[in-house]
Structure 1
């Protein structure tokens, strides 16, 4: 089977939504859970558009809340495929909020979702390869390779680390914890 390729720009999705009082948390800011829901929606749309298949969220790799979002601000989310594997894609999402009265825009969130393409039977299916046209495309692709490597390293560390050893228990004294076993 011959691999097809698509450009990063062919995956681009932009959505904007006005933040309403019904989206707030108890402190009057836009609820992070609401933003997470929107992030998942745009990641799905981006991955499905790029792959041509129904896609599911395999993992939410990074969600960095950088600035609070206020009621009345226009939130714009920009998503693109930053990395492709055989059946998976890493979607990068940038969230900006604009005060529609002053025009001031702030970067509020950066997120990375791993999405997997599914065929009509629910099995993983191949996705197109990625054409990297710009320095930004290459930078983002390499950042994803590093992210995947760090994720694997962390999983391997968790599998082999002996948290019950005397050394591990004694090492906890440097943290704000009390061990009672």
Structure 2
């Protein structure tokens, strides 16, 4: 069977939502957990649109909240497929807020969601590859590969059977920690 391919544009998704007081935290800013939930929803929509299957979130790569979001602002989330594996996809999600009175826009955060396509029985299913048409697309695909390699290295370096405590004790002295090893 020949593998299918789709352009990145075919599965891009954008949503805009007004931020309500019910979405705020104790300091009056929009709750980070609410934004994470929206990000997960749009990553799901993008991955499902690309794969034409139900998708689950396998991992989320680093979420840095760069700017607070105010009640009354419009928040726009943009999702795009950055990488396709056999059954998984990396979805890049960008979050921007806009003050509707001034028109000022802020980049609030970006993150990468690894989504896995599932069939009706919950088994992993192959996904179409992506057709890359821009230098930005090549950069995003290559960055996804590099992130996967870094994750593998982190996992093996700190695996309990491989971890060597003595290699790390000196470095801990530079941090806010008190060792009382028994």
Fold match by TM threshold 0.5: yes
CA deviations 1:75-95 (Å, max 9, x no partner) are: 000000000000000000110
CA deviations 1:5-27 (Å, max 9, x no partner) are: 00111110000000000000111
Counterpart for residue 25 of structure 2: 25
Secondary structure in structure 2 of the residue aligned to 1:121: coil
Secondary structure in structure 1 of the residue aligned to 2:94: strand
Counterpart for residue 10 of structure 1: 10
CA deviations 1:93-118 (Å, max 9, x no partner) are: 11000000111111001011000000
Counterpart for residue 35 of structure 1: 35
Alpha-carbon offset, residue 135 of structure 1: 1.0
Alpha-carbon offset, residue 174 of structure 1: 1.9
Counterpart for residue 44 of structure 1: 44
Alpha-carbon offset, residue 169 of structure 1: 2.8
Write the distance in 2 (CA, Å) between the matches of 1:30 and 1:145: 33
Tell me the C-alpha RMSD between the 2 structures: 1.0
- 2:102 is aligned with 1:102: yes
Counterpart for residue 161 of structure 1: 163
**How is 1:1-181 mapped onto 2 (pairs within 5 angstroms)?**
1-159=1-159, 160-163=162-165, 165=166, 167-181=167-181
Write the distance in 2 (CA, Å) between the matches of 1:17 and 1:171: 45
Write the distance in 2 (CA, Å) between the matches of 1:64 and 1:144: 17
Write the distance in 2 (CA, Å) between the matches of 1:173 and 1:180: 13
Moved more, 56-65 or 45-54: 56-65
Write the distance in 2 (CA, Å) between the matches of 1:63 and 1:171: 26
How many residue pairs were aligned? 179
Write the distance in 2 (CA, Å) between the matches of 1:21 and 1:121: 40
Alpha-carbon offset, residue 2 of structure 1: 1.4
Segments of 4+ in structure 1 off by > 3 A? Answer: none
Alpha-carbon offset, residue 171 of structure 1: 3.4
Return the TM-score normalized by structure 2: 0.95
Write the distance in 2 (CA, Å) between the matches of 1:107 and 1:38: 15
CA deviations 1:23-63 (Å, max 9, x no partner) are: 00111100000000000100000000000000000001121
Write the distance in 1 (CA, Å) between the matches of 2:41 and 2:168: 41
